[in-house]
Amino acid sequence: MRLALNRGRAEARPRGRLILLLLGWSALAVALVGVIWVMVTALLARSQLNTVRSELPKLRAALTAGDMGAARSLAANITTHAARAHELSTGPAWWVSANLPVLGTPLHTARVIAEQADGVGTNVLPGVIKLAQDVADMPHLRNSTIDLGRLAAAAPGLHSAAAAAHEAAQTVSATAGSWLGAVSSARNSVSDALTRLDAELSGADRTVQVLLPMLGQSGQQRYFIGFMNEAESRGLGGIPGAFAIVTADHGKITFTHFGSDDELHGVRAKVDLGSEFDARYKQDDPTGVIQNSNLSPDFSYAARIWAGMWQAKTGQQINGALAVDPTALSYLLKVTGPATLPDGTRLDAADVVALTQQKQYKMFSSESAADKEARKAYLATLAKAAADKIAHGGNGTAMVRALSHAARERRLVVWSADPTVEKLIVEGGWAGVLDAGGGPFSGFVVNNAAGSKLDYYLDRTMTYTRSGCGANSTSVATFTVTNSAPSTGLPRYVTIRADTPPKGAEPGDNRLLVTYYGSAGATVRSVAIDGKAVTLASIQENGLVTVTADLELPAGATRTVTVVTDDPASTAPVTILRQPLVNPVTVSTHEQACT
């Protein structure tokens, strides 16, 4: 009996080994099939994602061009391919493979990309297409009215799309870099695209949140619009000449008044702009002289002064303010088509800058009171004609691009008396404020000190070099300004000197106050004018360090200001302040790469 049992056990051992061997081979076969499956589906998913990557720029181009038919087709195609890529990169084999240490990293990254691409197709693109269609339709104004109902209806979907885009961008950005080059390249490409989409949708979402209250969703809002004349520079851009008062009530826009700076002569705004502002500008009486109200490049100061002046004059409360220059008007008139003056003259994008800042002085060339009054009335007429034309709208997509273009160049800046709305305006980059976000900052602005209209002819260049990122970093900023005004042929009103010019000054000679704005916490090491060291007092504005040089600038002359500062440690890129004038400043930057 014992012998039989031992024989049975001996026979069972080979069978057990065989079963184990078969199980091992089966597991290996399953694993091999799984690997093959993952490899095949990975290639298929990659093909789908490559289509998504190639179609996204086309979708953006179609939306920019306002081609809604092409945009809808591309969005549907992207959604289909993204969903297929996500489907191909799911399942047990993918889960196991993606969770393998090191080896699974590319697969995990690919899964995340596919999942987020599918999410964008499902949760983001429909909202983007709807918003684009609404924008294309809505700004064709009827009786100067924007359909706030449509805008309000689009807001929740836009907000959801922006949130989904932000989550997708953050999720892909958080994935680990892959040792597989193709996956790493795809990750970087998709991450860049999603980051851009996140920024654009967040900006659109923020804009809608600003527009609804500012356009009077809850009742009438009143705004002061200042029209800047860059022929005589101010820190914000140009001197405020004409202005308008406009109301917005449930989307209906009404211009209630147009006037010149003379109307606010002797009117004082009762506003407290802080000790730093007073230390910089009080001697120029900016709250009592509208021509000096925007000496600072920070629009929030001028806006509060303008609001205070109008309220002091009329008792009417101002809910916000805008500043716009003729170049910005040219961008908008290019969309709307030319405006027509009462005498039949056409005001179009090609000539609005020259007409408002150069030709008008030849039309009213004398210094008589009658010519001065006629010139100011003419400028108000130009402003009214342009404003009326723009208020009736144009192609929505093109109008948004033109407004964004003007805002990027600080030629259109906005302020709201509502702190919540103002915060959104600042975040969106429309506020024209001095804000470096805590990082390096650099820029030069000029204020005309001659009282002339010669700044129409200024040419400016700036170079900025920063070495080091730690506590010993140094910045060198150089500003070159040239007076390109002709020495003869200009009306006396253009070349007039309201200051006391130096002996031997000729018509066409100019005088500028050139102010450098450097990083908060920086120390001015040296200042040079035309290569010669000078000593200038430094003072703060909005926490930024500033120094101001007083330059006589003869016709045809070039002057150079160089400022060297020791800066706080920072790895952030520099923020450059570009003051808008007729001729834009040319800027070149050279920074050491910081990580």
pLDDT tens digit sequence for 541-553: 999 999 999 999 9
Largest CA distance in the chain: 137
Q: Residue 23 carries which side chain, given as an amino acid letter?
A: L
Structure tokens at 180: 């597989």
Amino acid, single-letter form, for residue 409? E
Least Cα distance to 456 among 478, 479, 482 occurs for 482
**pLDDT exceeds 90 at position 436:** no
Q: Is 542 exposed, middle or buried (0-12, 13-18, 19+ CB in 10 A)?
A: buried
pLDDT in tens, 277-325: 999 999 999 999 999 999 999 999 999 999 999 999 999 999 999 999 9
DSSP string, 397-422: HHHHHHHHHHHHTTSEEEEESSHHHH
C-alpha torsion 513→519→525→529, nearest 10: -30
**What does the block give as tokens for 144?**
């100067």
% helix, strand, coil for the chain, step of 5: 50, 25, 30
pTM of the model: 0.84
| Residue 174, pLDDT score | 74
Condensed to tens digits (0 to 9), the pLDDT of residues 166-204 reads 887 787 777 765 544 555 666 677 777 777 877 878 888
The token pair that represents 446 in the structure block? 């000029």
pLDDT (average), residues 401-412: 92
CA angle 373–317–329, rounded 5-degree value = 50
pLDDT of res. 289:
96
Token couple for 211: 């527009």
463-473: pLDDT as tens digits = 999 988 777 78
Among residues 489, 411, 505, the alpha carbon closest in space to that of 449 is found at: 505
What element of type H or E holds 298?
A: none
Alpha-carbon distance of 382 to 354, in angstroms, equals: 12
> Which amino acid, one-letter code, is at 243?
F
Phi, psi of 566 (to 5 degrees): -95, 125
Residue 261 Cα to chain centre, angstroms: 29
What are the φ and ψ backbone dihedral angles of 550, each rounded to 5 degrees?
Answer: -100, 110
CA dist., res. 586 & res. 523, Å (int): 25
Per-residue DSSP letter, 97: H
Q: CA torsion sign, 17 to 22 to 28 to 30?
A: negative
8 A C-beta contact, residue 520 and residue 545: yes
Beta carbons of 230 and 357 less than 8 angstroms apart? yes
Residue 463, beta-bridge partner list: 478, 588
Instruction: State the DSSP H helix or E strand holding residue 190, giving kind and residue range, or none if neither.
Output: helix 181-214
Which residues 6+ apart lie within 8 Å of 496 measured at CB? 367, 450, 451, 452
DSSP tag of 592: -
The mean predicted confidence, pLDDT, of the chain is: 84
Say how far apart CA 261 and CA 377 lie, in whole Å: 11
Instruction: Please give the structure tokens belonging to residue 230.
Output: 């860059």
Q: What percent of the chain has pLDDT over 70?
A: 84
Mean pLDDT, residues 64-90: 78
Predicted confidence band of residue 349 (pLDDT cuts 50, 70, 90): very high
Give the whole-angstrom CA distance, residue 571 versus residue 518.
16
Give CA separation, 145 vs 3, 126, 138, 204, 447, in Å. Answer: 105, 27, 9, 20, 38
Residue whose entry in the numeric block shows the structure tokens 């527009």: 211
Checking phi first, is residue 550 left (phi over 0); if not, alpha (psi -120 to 50) or beta?
beta
Size of the chain, expressed as the number of residues it contains: 595
Q: What is the DSSP letter of 269?
A: -
**Residue 276, CA distances (Å) to 337, 422, 442, 517 in order:** 44, 21, 19, 14
Q: Helix, strand or coil for residue 502? A: coil
Pairing of β 339-340 and β 346-347: antiparallel
Q: Dihedral sign for Cα 426, 427, 429, 434, please.
A: positive
Domains along the chain with CATH numbers: 2-214 (no CATH), 221-423 (3.40.630), 435-591 (2.60.40)
Please tell me the predicted confidence (pLDDT) of residue 297.
97
Report pLDDT for 534. 96
The pair of three-digit structure tokens given for residue 438, joined into one six-digit string: 């805590």
Residue 379 has a pLDDT of 84
For 101-109, what is the mean pLDDT?
Answer: 60
Give, in order, the Cα–Cα distances in Å from 477 to each of 444, 519, 528.
9, 12, 11
Q: Give the least confident one: 107-121, 366-380, 418-432.
A: 107-121
* pLDDT of 106 over the 80 cut: no
Please work out, in degrees rounded to the nearest 5, the angle formed at the alpha carbon of residue 280 by the alpha carbons of 275 and 282. Answer: 75
β-bridge mates for residue 534, sequence order: 527
Which residue type sits at 293? S
Task: Give just the sign of the alpha carbon dihedral 177, 182, 188, 190.
Answer: negative
CB distance 330 to 352 below 8 Å:
yes
Distance CA 435, CA 419 (A): 16
pLDDT of 20 higher than 60: no
